[in-house]
Structures are given as C-alpha cells and as structure tokens.
Amino acid sequence: MTSLVILGANGMLAHALAHTAAARGHHPIAIPRAQCDITSEPQLRAVFEQHRPTVLFNCAAYTKVDAAETESHQANAINGYAIQTLGQLCRAHETLLVHFGSDFVFDGRATQPYREYDAPGPLSAYGQSKRLGEEALLADNWDNWLLLRTAWLYGRHGVSFPRTMVELARKAVPLSIVNDQIGSPTFTNDLADATFDLLERQTTGLWNIVNSNPASWYDLAVATLEAFGINHPIRPITTADWRAIRPQQAIRPAYSVLDTSAVTHRMGRPMRPWREAVQDFAEQVRTAEGF
C-alpha cells in the first residue's frame, strides 16, 4: 500500500483509521469534506489526479438516521449514488476502494445473526440509502473493493451514543433507553484494526465487522456508565414507548446482530466482546480528555 487516502477525514471512523494506519507504518492522506464533497465528481477526480491513491477509504457518509426520513434525497446522494461514481473512478485508476456499510440494511426479523449475503430489507430512508451504496458495488462487474458492514459505531472522536449517555448522566438528566432493539456495538478502533488486518491479507468483497456478542441500547448505556464510574439510574423501555415519545423517528430493526464468523476465519482471530471494547473506550477518553 503506497498511497492511502481517507475521505471524510473529520469523522470518528476516519480518525481511527488514520491512527491505525500510522501505527502500522503508513502515511495516510486525510481529506475532510470541506476539501472533497463526494457528491461532486469533479472534486473526486481531483483527489485521484493529485494523490493517485492505491487504497481509498470512504468515511464520508450521511449518518443522521432520523433526519434522513425527510432528507432522503441528500442521504441517497451521499450514501448511494456517490458510491457508484467513486467505484467507477477507483476502477479506472486501479484503486482499491474500502467502503463501510450498515446493519440498517436489514429488516430485523431474523432470529440469528445476519450473514453477509442474507437478504436485505431496509426499514428506513437511511437504511435504504446505505443499501444503494452496497448495490453500487455488488452490481458492478468489478471486484477491487472491500465492503465492510458494521453497526452501532462509537469512538473517541465525534458524537456517539456512549458519549451522549455519559454527558446526560453527568447532567443528571433522566435516562430512558430502549431495551428491545438488539444489535452489535462496535468500537471504531477495533473496526480500524480489523480493516487493516484484512487489507494485509489482500482481502476483497463483503464482510461483517462488529464487536462480538449482542446487546440492546439499554445494555450499552448501562455498561458505558459503569465503565466511566458513573452511578446514574437508567430505565429500560420498549421501542413502542420510545416511539410514543418521538413519533417522527425512523424505524429501526428490532434485531440486527451481524455474524462475524467469516471475518474471524479470514483474520485468524475473533473480534473481541463489546463490553471489553467499551472499557477500553472509556479508558482512552478519560486519559486523553479527562472526560
């Protein structure tokens, strides 16, 4: 890997990828949205002409799940149609494209973890936009891409559910958290490490990468406050309770746990349990920020 470019450089996953790349001896070129809007083909072409990337990580994404219900055009443009353009440019320049998908492409009706090629059925505008991006790669007659489907991301840089829980708890805000949506909380540092493990094995195609073991949002909230040493009550509620409070929110899958058996075999190691990752996240935040 001689030239690594990261688009969407200000995001929390991009920070983790840049840090991991540097730790492994690379010198990534991190490009923020202000310098490259991925919905602009001329701006994308300029990136390829200037930097000649060998590997391009696309961390530019529309992530506002609820807002996407009324901003679907914008979500589709960033998460969907731009990926088709990006893929075409990567193919033309013989660049490996690393793109990140979402568990929200599934309908949540499964009773066991979703595998890579289980049938999608997004319930929300956000999930539909992420599926558009996947389809842009899966339908193309070109295989120089690595599509990593992940879920419930959090990291030290940027806004995330665990950080929000800590901030609200420290302000003594009453917390009522959904306990009947089950998924796969994932630490950006672990996703970044796994991404580079796959790249070092010259891996392409579609893979699930999440921390192991399922959790509800309530489980994640409780574990986060424990990791930060905060004693604050959290009331478990149902999705129906939450929708009564916020009826305009997007529909989320009730069950979106991702199966990581394939990537575990490929890397030769399992993804670590999410509770261990939350402890590590808390330690890093306290050390770096005194948070």
Q: Among all residues, which ones are annotated catalytic?
A: 126
* 184 residue type, one letter: S
Closest CA to 227 of 279, 277, 273: 279
| Per-residue b or e along 161-199, where b marks 16 or more CB atoms closer than 10 Å to that residue's CB | bbbebbebbeeeeebebbbbbbbbbbbbbbbbbbbbbbb
Closest CA to 126 of 79, 191, 85, 158: 79
Q: In this structure, what DSSP letter does residue 104 have?
A: G
- Quote the CA–CA distance of 10 and 96 in Å, as a whole number: 21
Report the DSSP pairing between strands 182-183 and 215-216.
Answer: antiparallel
Contacts of 212 (CB under 8 A, 6+ apart): 184, 260, 270, 271, 272, 273, 274
Contacts of 182 (CB under 8 A, 6+ apart): 214, 215, 216, 254, 255, 256, 257
Instruction: Count the Cβ atoms, other than its own, within 10 Å of residue 202.
Output: 8
- Quote the CA–CA distance of 154 and 1 in Å, as a whole number: 27
In this structure, the chain runs to a length of 291
Residue ranges of E strands in the chain: 4-7, 29-31, 55-58, 96-102, 145-150, 153-154, 175-178, 182-183, 186-187, 205-208, 215-216, 234-237
